[in-house]
Amino acid sequence: MDTKMIARGIMLSLLVMFCLVTLCPAVCPGGTIAESAEKPAVVRLWNWNIHDKKYQQSMYNLFNKRHKDIKIEYSSISNTVYDQTLEAAFAAKEPPDIFLPSGRLTFEYLRSKGWIMPLNDCAPSERELKDWMDKFPPHLYKFIEGISVFNGKVYVVDTKGESGAPGFPLYYNKTLFKLAGIGSPPSTYSELRRAAAKITQAGQGKYFGIVHGLRYIKGVWHQDIAGSLARAAGIDGVGGPDWGPDARDGKYHHASPEHINALKVWIGMREDGSVHPGEMTMDDEQAKMAFANNKAAMFFGGDWVVGNVLAYNPDCDFDLVLAPTPDDGIRRDFYHIGPGGQFGYVVSSFTKNPRAVWEVIKFICSLEYQEGYVKGGYGISYLPEANKPENFKIPQLYRFVQWANDPALRRFAPIARPNTRRVVEEFMPGIYPTYHDVMEAVYLGKAGFEALKDLDDRCNAALDAGIKRAQESGIKVTRDDFCFPDWVRGKDYEPTLRALGLLKK
């Protein structure tokens, strides 16, 4: 035999042996975790969390110390670049093992592409998976077929507890309210504007009535208008295509009087000089920092803001109330209860370590982790035993639990059919200028309110185009799937009660 051929054969054999030894995945075909303590199975976990980043780091370090065969590599990526970073990771076929969907990579998109795997393929047995699922209280509706479960396969790790509120609440700085001589937070639009002006006047340039950061505008107008003031007025179908159309008629309503009146409140506060200066150059985190450090008296945000504020200033004296209503004092929105479970961690189908990922999931869902999460003031857990009142050392965070369990604020809304979210998230063409672009232009006086009517026309046309694209791809969906004309806001929607087995006979 030719010596060159022999040499090639030896080299090929060595290469194969090298690949088998060095590139063997940490989880063997049978699914067991690699036993080598020198080369533990790596689980890359990604999210955009800021407020609980230190807590997560400490808990994952604890996990790594306990598990010599598994190593969590945690990345907290700023939400300003998270979407692009996640897309780039999938394009390179090197996505994280467990992560939060975002941007174009929505849950439905990822599932339709086969890029995420069901938890059934991570858990060592169906029995263990069921035991894990049984820890979630039934009233949270985390595991509903067509929402987070498909053909009996579970896809999402949703640990969020019952922390509902009618939209984003208003945070107010009690120190600055006292300095301005204001005894209680505003409850109506006019009171909000007057309070902002009075506090600004008292501050004499040292502090201001209200703050928001528009440098990265994604999400800010959702907090300031669509999810707070406009929602308190009872309007849906605003917030751009991200939030979808009004469930009652399947249309967008940015040009509605309710939405325009809510925007006018912010325009008025800006004209009064009540908005913290530099709003166009500061981002959302800088705005929260200004609030926490007694530079601004009010701010709209969700439950995560509690942790943000205390991280920036542990001594900040603040509280929160539901978003102010129109001047008639009537609150027309509610905490809409429905199946949860479609927002949370998912597992990449590219993972080489499904059993190791399962151990990480169990740890995140454990009472130890969840109780520490609540006690630290980072959020509300899915576990009732973690949500004991005594665990909430921060009373502001417990407000969300109280609102969620207040029958006067809770309503069961229609359940969107599975394919409707896919139309909005996957098939609707891009809308430019975006909702946030238009809101900023009107707010700054660069465009009139007619721009909102144009936005509605473009959103509705894009929805029609999205439905057509979805139909062409084989998805059965029509305009009617977006409409629930028999739904009366303020009342429980009977078909939802029936679907959840709650309709009283």
Residue pointed to by tokens 């939405």: 259
The predicted structure's pLDDT at residue 145 = 83
Mean pLDDT of 53-77: 96
Amino acid at 275: V
Lowest pLDDT segment from 7-11, 254-258, 464-468, 495-499: 7-11
What letter does residue 120 receive in the DSSP assignment?
A: G
Q: Give the phi and the psi of residue 318 in degrees, each rounded to 5.
A: -145, 165
339 pLDDT tier (thresholds 50, 70, 90):
low
Parallel, antiparallel, or unpaired: how do β-strands 116-117 and 98-99 relate? unpaired
Q: Dump pLDDT digits (tens) for 187-206.
A: 999 999 999 999 999 999 99
The predicted structure's pLDDT at residue 58 = 98
**Alpha-carbon span 67 to 255, nearest angstrom:** 56
Q: Dump pLDDT digits (tens) for 284-293.
A: 999 999 999 9
Whether the predicted pLDDT of 341 surpasses 60? no
Whether the predicted pLDDT of 223 surpasses 70? yes
3-state class (DSSP) for residue 446: coil
The predicted structure's pLDDT at residue 241 = 86
Cβ within 8 Å of residue 85, ≥6 positions away: 77
Nearest to 284 by CA among 88, 51, 55: 51
Instruction: Tell me the pLDDT of the chain averaged across its residues.
Output: 89
Residue pointed to by tokens 């996957």: 426
> Buried b vs exposed e over 364-396: b needs ≥16 C-beta within 10 Å?
bbbeebbbbbbbbbbbbbbbeebbeeebbebeb
For 444, how many CA atoms within 13 A lie in the half-sphere containing its CB?
A: 10
248 pLDDT tier (thresholds 50, 70, 90):
very high
The predicted structure's pLDDT at residue 26 = 36
The predicted structure's pLDDT at residue 29 = 33
Q: Which tokens go with 43?
A: 């689980």
320 pLDDT tier (thresholds 50, 70, 90):
very high
**Alpha-carbon span 446 to 439, nearest angstrom:** 10
296 pLDDT tier (thresholds 50, 70, 90):
very high
Lowest pLDDT segment from 20-24, 50-54, 301-305, 406-410: 20-24
Lowest pLDDT segment from 115-119, 335-339, 355-359: 335-339
Mean pLDDT of 210-225: 90
Mean pLDDT of 472-499: 91
**Alpha-carbon span 398 to 306, nearest angstrom:** 10
Q: Give the phi and the psi of residue 298 in degrees, each rounded to 5.
A: -140, 155
| 441 membership: H or E segment, kind and range | helix 435-443
Q: Which tokens go with 411?
A: 């309503």
The torsion region of residue 161 among left (phi > 0), alpha (psi -120 to 50) and beta comes to beta
Q: Which tokens go with 285?
A: 């985190």
The torsion region of residue 73 among left (phi > 0), alpha (psi -120 to 50) and beta comes to beta
342 pLDDT tier (thresholds 50, 70, 90):
low
**Alpha-carbon span 201 to 182, nearest angstrom:** 12
Whether the predicted pLDDT of 222 surpasses 70? yes
**Alpha-carbon span 140 to 156, nearest angstrom:** 14
Distance in angstroms between the alpha carbons of the first and the last residue of the chain: 87
| pTM summary value | 0.76
Question: Using an 8 Å Cβ cutoff, are 436 and 379 in contact?
Answer: no
Mean pLDDT of 388-406: 88
Cβ within 8 Å of residue 73, ≥6 positions away: 42, 43, 44, 45
Percent of the chain with pLDDT over 90: 69
Nearest to 245 by CA among 257, 258, 254, 233: 254
**Alpha-carbon span 87 to 49, nearest angstrom:** 18
Cβ within 8 Å of residue 255, ≥6 positions away: 449, 450, 452, 453, 455, 456
262 pLDDT tier (thresholds 50, 70, 90):
very high
Cβ within 8 Å of residue 116, ≥6 positions away: 107, 110, 155, 346, 347, 348, 349
Q: How far is CA 176 from the centre of its chain?
A: 30
The predicted structure's pLDDT at residue 335 = 87
500 pLDDT tier (thresholds 50, 70, 90):
confident
Residues in the chain: 505
Nearest to 481 by CA among 293, 298, 249, 259: 249
Whether the predicted pLDDT of 18 surpasses 70? no
465 pLDDT tier (thresholds 50, 70, 90):
very high
The torsion region of residue 313 among left (phi > 0), alpha (psi -120 to 50) and beta comes to beta
The predicted structure's pLDDT at residue 87 = 95
Q: Which tokens go with 229?
A: 């003031």
